[in-house]
Amino acid sequence: MPNLVEILHQEMRLCNYSPKTIKAYTRIIGDLYKKVRKPLRELSENDIKIYLLGLHDRGLSSQTVALATNAINFLYRDVYKRKDYVSLRHPKRSQKLPVVLTRTEIERLLTQSKNLKHRLLLAISYAAGLRVSEALSLRVRDIDLEELIITIRQGKGRKDRRTVLSQKLITDLRALIAGRDSAAYLFESERGGKLTAGTASAVFRAALKKAEIKKDASFHSLRHSFATHLLENGVDVRYVQELLGHANIRTTQIYTHLTNPALKNIKSPL
């Protein structure tokens, strides 16, 4: 198993997979080995399906099972290169509407943090539609205060893109980056390096609690809210897709279910 993990790491790095995906695939293949307790090269299609069904039985989400399916397909197709292997199909993913905060809730949320760095982390993630990993990876040089543009480098799918920067954040951003090196992380940890995703989530949860918002929201809800509010403002869905960095327009279109004005105008018969 140690040799397999090393080979898996190597093959995934050659294919330019992100460290997060490499870690996830390695964990899944390790779990598969623990469950079957025999050489993975010798597993039959039925052995693999029994393992995936076990994930269903453990109550794991369809997204988690789809991730496991991807990892197993990569192992047999790209590492073992088994010619008789037929890639397994992904399970149908559940369609849950994202949790979105209203504009008023966003305003309340952003007034709760007295720490400039923490407040800007939440504000810029909403105002630019960033994933938590993208916000935490920003460097001072990625912020263009003149053109009001943020450059996201090597985001999901290892792609660079640009998104918008709010005029309202310029004064606070100037204060945050004053005298700092252009290569420095925008949101640095007190111990050096960038803040962790755990810290970002804790900052969000604390602000959510202080704002007395009862929704089951997460840090990612800031990105959901960005997309929804742009569509409500009349921005074309394809521009929203580009700003979010979605490869497929269908991923962006889920937000159109939250912005249908005709639906909001329908009154209940009760």
Question: Tens digit of pLDDT for each residue in 158-181?
Answer: 788 999 999 999 999 999 999 999
pLDDT, position 250:
86
> Higher confidence at residue 94 or residue 220?
220
Q: Are residues 61 and 131 in the same domain?
A: no
Q: Are residues 47 and 120 in the same domain?
A: no
Q: CA Rg, the chain, in Å?
A: 22
Q: What is the mean pLDDT of the chain?
A: 89
Q: Are residues 114 and 234 in the same domain?
A: yes
Average of pLDDT values for 71-100? 84
Q: Are residues 245 and 121 in the same domain?
A: yes
SS3 of residue 38 by DSSP: coil
pLDDT, position 86:
85
* Domain that includes residue 62, residue range: 2-79
Average of pLDDT values for 72-83? 90
Q: How far is CA 205 from CA 107, 119, 210, 214, in A?
A: 15, 12, 9, 11
| pLDDT at residue 262 is higher than 70 | no
Would residue 86 count as lying in a domain?
A: no
Q: Are residues 133 and 23 in the same domain?
A: no
Highest-pLDDT range among 42-46, 76-80, 118-122: 118-122
Q: Are residues 165 and 61 in the same domain?
A: no
Would residue 33 count as lying in a domain?
A: yes
Give the end of a domain, one of 63, 79, 95: 79
Q: Are residues 75 and 107 in the same domain?
A: no
Average of pLDDT values for 190-210? 92
- Please give the tally of structural domains in the chain: 2
The CATH number linked to 201 is 1.10.443.10
pLDDT, position 174:
95
164 vs 152: CA distance, rounded Å: 11
Q: Are residues 72 and 120 in the same domain?
A: no
Query: Which tokens in the block code for residue 219?
Result: 């840090």
pLDDT, position 6:
87
pLDDT, position 1:
59
225 vs 102: CA distance, rounded Å: 7
List residues with catalytic annotation.
Answer: 131, 156, 220, 223, 246, 255
Would residue 251 count as lying in a domain?
A: yes
Amino acid residing at 115: N
Q: Identify the weakest region by mean pLDDT among 79-88, 144-153, 213-222, 241-250.
A: 79-88
| pLDDT at residue 200 is higher than 70 | yes
Q: Are residues 142 and 61 in the same domain?
A: no
List b or e across 152-173, with b for residues whose CB sees 16 or more CB atoms inside 10 angstroms. beebbeeeebbbebeeebeeeb
Please report where in the chains the tokens 């005298």 appear, as a residue: 179
Would residue 87 count as lying in a domain?
A: no
pLDDT, position 93:
66
Query: Which tokens in the block code for residue 178?
Result: 């004053």
The CATH number linked to 54 is 1.10.150.130
Which segments within the chain are labelled E, that is strand? 143-144, 149-152, 161-164
Query: Containing H/E element for 163?
Result: strand 161-164
Q: Are residues 252 and 186 in the same domain?
A: yes
Q: Are residues 119 and 227 in the same domain?
A: yes
pLDDT, position 261:
67
